[in-house]
Homo-oligomer: A and B are copies of this chain.
Amino acid sequence: MFLGTHINGVDVKGRVSAPADFRAVARDEALEGVYCWPAFDGPFLEGCGQGLMERFKAMLDAWDPYDEIRTAFARAVLGEARLLGFDATGRVTLPKEFAAHAGLDGQAAFVGLGDKFQIWNPDAHEAHRVAARETLKDNKHRLRPPQAAARGDGGAA
């Protein structure tokens, strides 16, 4: 599971060390790298390992092949995604257009979100992080998911 926030340096060649924790997650899924694509809803990158990528594919397979949403999703994620391989020391090289999309310059913040993660410009992420905490403080009583009442919630996974 991708957890925590790790800030690592991006050198002039566009290389950045994937956090060791994240590498361990990817390798547990027998992948010597991570899938990565520019988010379609903000200035950051999204990434995942083999497991989630296969779930995406299964989801698409189960969908009406000519549904507009399906096509749009496939284009926005699969069409933009690349497999970034780890080098011998655990770094990945970010394509220029990826770095540009996320405004990465010198540093990158890897944010673990369970089965996927995001890569942010550290300053942009910090601003977002503070905002998220405020949102949560104001809404912590709504933390039960919408379906909880219907499903009984609390179910162990």
Which residue of chain B is the closest to A114 with respect to CB atoms?
Answer: B78
Q: A5-B80, A64-B146, A133-B76 are in contact. Are A155 and B154 (CB under 8 A)?
A: yes
Residue pair B66, A41 in contact (C-beta under 8 Å): yes
Q: Which of B69, B71, B155 contacts A153 (CB 8 A)?
A: B155
Query: Which of B41, B55, B83, B129 is in CB contact (< 8 Å) with A157?
Result: B55
B145 touches A112 (CB 8 A): no
Q: 8 Å CB contacts to B: which residues of A70-93?
A: 70-76, 78-83
In the complex, what distance in Å separates the CA atom of A60 from the CA atom of B52? 15
Contacts of A146 in B (CB 8 A): 63-64
A111 contacts partner chain B, Cβ-Cβ < 8 Å: yes
The copy count of this chain in the complex is 2
Q: Measured between alpha carbons, how far is A60 from B73 in the docked complex, in Å?
A: 20
Contacts of A147 in B (CB 8 A): 62-63
Contact of B4 with A80 in the complex, beta carbons under 8 Å: yes
**A144 to B, closest residue via Cβ:** B157
15 contacts between A and B (CB under 8 A): A1-B78, A2-B78, A4-B82, A21-B83, A41-B140, A54-B157, A55-B157, A59-B145, A72-B132, A73-B143, A75-B129, A78-B112, A140-B157, A152-B153, A153-B155
Beyond A73-B143, A153-B153, 17 additional contacts (C-beta under 8 Å) are A1-B53, A1-B83, A41-B136, A51-B156, A57-B157, A62-B148, A64-B146, A69-B136, A69-B143, A74-B114, A75-B113, A76-B136, A81-B112, A144-B157, A153-B154, A153-B155, A154-B155
